[in-house]
Structure 1
Amino acid sequence: MEKENQIFGIRAIIEAINANKEIDKVFIQKDAESDLMKDLMKAMKRNNVNFSYVPVEKLNRLTPNNHQGAVATIAPISFVSLETLVEGALEAALESGKKPLFLILDQLSDARNFGAIIRTAECTGVNGIIIQKQGSAPVNGDTVKTSAGAVFNVPICKVDHIKDAIFYLQGSGVKTVAATEKTESHIYDLNLNEPVAIIMGSEDRGVNPSVLKIVDEKAKLPMFGTIESLNVSVACGAFLYEAVRQRM
């Protein structure tokens, strides 16, 4: 974590949140209790700021300063709203004739996987990436490095709930396709040559079952080896490039 992209100290983080800074994630010391910490928790929940509890040793590694039990990371990018992202892509499609392609990451948690996916998304012409505020990988130095700078070229949107974003996309005429092994359909069976949003799940449990219930289509990749799953960034690349192939 780059030092210029972090804030340490409870009061400083509260002020940053109240000033609407792009706080990406806050690391909170386990078992830390004080009135000021309670104020921080209220501010984070009120503004839907992503946070996690960590041992004090992690905070000590993040900064040699007096962190008071809290260290925050500031995102190196500005996030866009869902409405701005979708409406902008649809308007651009009318002018260019290119069908919008969105990517939804359902609580992907690894920053390097996130960066690799962003890099592939940029190369395949994805109009924007949608992530959930809580439980998603941070946009930090690892993300920027692994994306090879692509994070500055692909709009990223944070939403409170993935399901609400899916409903909004569906209402805007965008087909939603979830990558999951819990289906008989292969990605090659689907029509991706239309406005579409591809949904990739977390590294450990895939796409949330509640999300699978509301998507338009489900698809998987054919597997011929003894290992039953691919790294999520590799699987995402396969899905995105099938969309590219169909659109060429």
Structure 2
Amino acid sequence: MKIVVIGGTGLIGSKLVAKLAEQGQEAVVAAPSTGVNTLTGEGLAEVLAGAQVVVDVSNSPSFEPAAVMEFFETSTRNLLAAEAAAGVGHHVALSVVGTERMPDNGYFAAKIAQEQLIEKSGIPFSLVHATQFFEFVRAIADEATDGDTVRIAPVRFQPIAGEEVAQAVGRVAVGEPLNGRIEVGGPDDVRMDEFFRDALAAWADPRTVVTDPQARYYGSVPGERTLVPGEGAILGTIHYRDWLDRTPTGQ
């Protein structure tokens, strides 16, 4: 089966391509570095020729609200139009747990817009909603840093290893279209401030985690369960400390 992975050189995309190849699938990397640009449409017709499935795990280079909205709307429209012309039978997109619960967040709003375009496209689809990746935990701490303190809300948090996200996306890609969504998250549902207190200790990071109910997560204040999946979610098995032991740089 020919499966084109949009964003196939990125964090999740590269892991996904490797997993699909191990299963004997024809996993094709599509990214600007391979001559495929979803913003301009360059290379889409060529790479999608003969493809049965397209998996979009691409991401915006900027999280600024207007820029991220422009990225997801433009790239998704171009991609869906090219898929329709090529006769692609299954569109898979990676999204974020909680998008609909924090629509005032610029990034989440852009992902909602992306999903709406997919749902209305007429192409059979599957949406995979994932929680935050272990690989982004340090960046989340840096975003929340104020001087020598890290301000974190006491809400639920359930991050997951990138390799387990790629595994879940891969399973969906080779299956029948869901015409709906699934959620994936890590094995541990913990309080976000406590998670970061433990994480900074593990990193030997001198910053202090301050519990702040009004702390923002990339510009928005999350609710108690905004960032965690609901019942029936697929849960990973890799715990953060175990992942960190074998990935000491956090990358």
Q: TM-score, normalised by structure 2?
A: 0.30
Q: TM-score, normalised by structure 1?
A: 0.31
Larger Rg: 1
